[in-house]
Amino acid sequence: MRLVLCAVGQKMPAWADEAYEDFAKRFPPEMRLELKAVKAEPRTTGKSTEQLMAAEAQRLDAACPKGARRVVLDERGERVSSKQLAQRLEAWRGDGRDVAIFIGGPDGLDESIKSRADEKLRLSDLTLPHAFVRVLLAEGLYRAWSVMEGHPYHRE
């Protein structure tokens, strides 16, 4: 199974890329973490917010593996603990499909992405910079995997 982060924004600070890669490389081959970063629509074009998000949605859809379970990160999504995310990860693994986790751009995700989500999760009650989101999500997924596998990374 692959966990594919479909994210708007290609240029992140070096520290964020390094931290993300550090967690991504820890995953076992049977549960790889991959990043599919798509270009953010330029905010200087005079397009409406809806037009910007629609253009980004097309890119995100193209990056999403066919047949994948679609999980959207959204401020109104379900809040889960590390243990609950581990249970979710176990269920996703049992489903046998890849999992695409969508991270929106500066204005969020287009409704066309949200409406086709199998699940909506909230990473935090805070609004976070996109660089942090990638790192926190990678760490959270790795922590969930470690809980699921009984690995000593997570401690109560």
**Binding site residue list for S-adenosyl-L-methionine:** 73, 104, 123-128
Burial class (CB in 10 A: 0-12, 13-18, 19+), 144: buried
* Bind-site residues: 73, 104, 123-128
Query: Using CB atoms within 10 A of its CB, is residue 78 exposed (0-12), middle (13-18) or buried (19+)?
Result: exposed
